[in-house]
Structure 1
């Protein structure tokens, strides 16, 4: 690590990757640009996290050198290596016994649990004198009194860190036209709905075709745009964001296409590059594209069709190449049907389509985002407090709140909570304090939704339904609802105390777990 101190900040998190560890919370807490791990841990994390995961390589030289060291301890060596499912071992393992003149027992595994099982079986059946493997296997073998040789070399660790640093640099290579706060914003997701959206975004990024992003205000359309930009072939170019609803009709051409020197009275000396030219080689992001008036729609359509434009007052056309991403919180199909939006422009924009679900439809993301912003604002305002307790104080209210402002509203609520703690850091945050700080929560929760049902009743019915669905397994229920098991216990206790839930309803299953 000291070798790379000037290039990166490295935090060590000791853990065995499994379903029992909440890695999304760890990512939200540490906010890494990239995660580095090895073997089955790296494979599990790569399939679980939204941030890049770099795996530590194991070279043939690493294996041979580790086995040579093991031969000095015992003639019979047990070797443990990670091997993805349905993949045969490499040819090296077939020739190792003859190459090194050793009695070799090779164990391959695809998960940490499988590695532990194979180790325990080897200890029971063969009483090994020496084990060669990754850190987790070596640690387990040492606890059984078996000598161990670590499989990974220092050079492979250096290679992993070099690749991780490069991946982190690529992730942070934002355009200067973006705001400074956007060089540090993290795309935090946990729900299956948003994971599917993120996967589609990465797929659509591989094409030069336009992407239409639809969703309510505050659902994260700009976040997903940055993800597409980061994974596209235009990643080295700028990301130019335009709010289509804020450009007056008379300024549209000069803003979009720029102008040459002396194009009109009051024009800047030397002319000006328009937004389209600024986006050349990168991504042009049109926010609120549904707000474009018909005259502006025609001019935009021509640029998209011909990939060239003429600045105001100019006599030559300038070719451009960029990826277009358009976003809207309106139903463009309805706007096309009513004649408010050109159908030919709609089909130009809608080569690929992404629909972002509102936050109320993805409760799994609420906990992850709340913890992420708690950590972020606590650091920003230098607040030293127990963030887990702070989250637990609002968890239930946040879960049942309908979030009309979506992610942007949640972010604002969390900042308000953190700032309120600065003046009263020792005050216990309870129901009355939450209502005072966030009156919107109380007003919404005590009201009814459009269907006439109490939001509190809806949440309690969701808990009852989940408890039945998972036969009283509180861990699975909490994961399904997107809340912690502690929060679930508190809510069940509150339901019991108010007589809203019979205390023995789930006792047969919960007592046995």
Structure 2
């Protein structure tokens, strides 16, 4: 199924709150050229940004500093970094010295790069205490900030959005180092790069984007049902194990729906703290609470107006949040925090879960009235082990895709033939995402073999295929029980190394930590049994 592409460049912007606020202040100037989706995050190994890119299908990603460096090394789409001019630094420092005489400047410095020459000049020019801190990763920025706090509490912080956030958390005033002028430069550069990328991918349409590859009769039937359910405004509940492709089905429903011209707004229901739930989903007006930003904030639900709201991991939503969401869905109106006006809503509702929500309702863990709102139509995603016809098709698609990405000349047919029997015997606890990870490793190993004939054998590249695996029970167990079995088996197989477990299962380490806490609470396992494993990032 080919995606419909409009004339605007799709920009995915990743950054912390002050950065996103700056972009929001100027983005309206480019609304005829670009659709900008903002994700507030610090880019690191705990977030699956490739899945985020697969969901939003951007033509270009925009970020700043260490965020941009990390994303550029991680993603296959172009990544544009926020520029910082000497004028930006001088202007920010000038604002800061009005607040306090003890100013600490944080700035991104690429590995092995020299500090900006301006800093050396400023040391002898300014008439206030000025301490610069260069960093390459967000971890180094955090460490430098903590050391500065321990040695001499700064009067004011100047820096990118992440250090500004740390300052605000510590009760310190903070000045963002970026200006509106540089924000405009970022968007112009992103639009130019996005247009170039679109031209490249339209000339080579199989080079860019993840495709929903299906060959099995069960998935063909499901795709036809999804096309039918896309019509009208009936809510669709998508159920299936982690990594089965629920987000792909959500994108196809959006593409085929009456709401295709509107946005697809995704919300991870397991990641929003209770104290931020209303402000994130419903938005707020200026002055609604102490830390509210100037001009207020549009909530995620209002952003979905005229489009599709996708509630991912809806089964993880606490009861207190369920009742607030239900009220909005019933009334089809939302009132921002601190506002006396209600906003009428018109969007198509999609939700996804790897839980058996029917069982959760029966056990009193999920509201039955919310369940019936979500479950007008239902799609059950079969696990990869039950649709073996898809394994070969998906594997060959990603073999070709990663061969282009890593510039490796391979014979996809012969490479697959070398693993076909192992794949046929494997249980695929991480489903399609795990298969994708396996193929990427295979291609990278092929690249290594072109340089070194003694590169790692298959047993080292894909040890999961050779480890003894206790297959999930064939009795009618719940999705949650199947997932728990897969997680516990992987934790044992990798000796508690959470990075390796998350990679094998095709989930982020954040999701893995959340699943382990649920397993601990339900099984009575000691926290030490899970927390002693290694992780990084």
TM-score normalised to structure 2 length: 0.51
Structure 1 residue 257 corresponds to structure 2 residue 277: no
User: Which residue does 2:450 correspond to in 1?
Assistant: 425
Alignment of 1:377-416 (within 5 A): 377-416=402-441
Alignment of 1:249-398 (within 5 A): 249-398=274-423
State the alpha-carbon separation in 2 of the partners of residues 297 and 278 from structure 1. 20
* Cα pair 1:280 1:320 within 8 Å, conserved: yes
User: Which residue does 2:232 correspond to in 1?
Assistant: 207
2:464 paired residue among 432, 437, 440? 440
* Cα pair 1:176 1:238 within 8 Å, conserved: no
Post-superposition offset of 1:177? 2.9
* Cα pair 1:374 1:415 within 8 Å, conserved: yes
State the alpha-carbon separation in 2 of the partners of residues 346 and 449 from structure 1. 27
Alignment of 1:4-403 (within 5 A): 51=1, 168-169=4-5, 176-177=36-37, 179-182=52-55, 183=57, 184-403=209-428
State the alpha-carbon separation in 1 of the partners of residues 371 and 454 from structure 2. 49
Q: Aligned in 2, Cα 1:262/1:409: closer, same or farther, shift over 3 Å?
A: same
- Secondary structure of the 1:422 match is helix
Q: Aligned in 2, Cα 1:326/1:435: closer, same or farther, shift over 3 Å?
A: same
Post-superposition offset of 1:450? 4.5
Post-superposition offset of 1:279? 0.4
State the alpha-carbon separation in 1 of the partners of residues 216 and 8 from structure 2. 24
* Cα pair 1:177 1:239 within 8 Å, conserved: no
Post-superposition offset of 1:375? 0.8
Post-superposition offset of 1:181? 4.4
State the alpha-carbon separation in 2 of the partners of residues 280 and 214 from structure 1. 24
Aligned length: 286
User: Which residue does 1:105 correspond to in 2?
Assistant: none
* Cα pair 1:177 1:238 within 8 Å, conserved: no
* Cα pair 1:378 1:384 within 8 Å, conserved: yes
State the alpha-carbon separation in 2 of the partners of residues 370 and 222 from structure 1. 19
Gaps of 5+ in 1: 1-50, 53-166, 453-513
Deviations 1:101-145 (A, max 9, x none): xxxxxxxxxxxxxxxxxxxxxxxxxxxxxxxxxxxxxxxxxxxxx
* Cα pair 2:427 2:471 within 8 Å, conserved: no
State the alpha-carbon separation in 2 of the partners of residues 290 and 278 from structure 1. 22
Q: Aligned in 2, Cα 1:351/1:433: closer, same or farther, shift over 3 Å?
A: same
Q: Aligned in 2, Cα 1:370/1:422: closer, same or farther, shift over 3 Å?
A: same
State the alpha-carbon separation in 2 of the partners of residues 408 and 171 from structure 1. 30
Post-superposition offset of 1:338? 1.1
The higher radius of gyration belongs to 1
* Cα pair 1:403 1:410 within 8 Å, conserved: yes
Q: Aligned in 2, Cα 1:344/1:412: closer, same or farther, shift over 3 Å?
A: same
Post-superposition offset of 1:435? 1.2
State the alpha-carbon separation in 2 of the partners of residues 344 and 236 from structure 1. 30
- Secondary structure of the 1:390 match is helix
TM-score normalised to structure 1 length: 0.53
* Cα pair 1:188 1:369 within 8 Å, conserved: yes
Post-superposition offset of 1:390? 1.1
- Secondary structure of the 1:190 match is coil
* Cα pair 1:213 1:221 within 8 Å, conserved: yes
* Cα pair 2:361 2:367 within 8 Å, conserved: yes
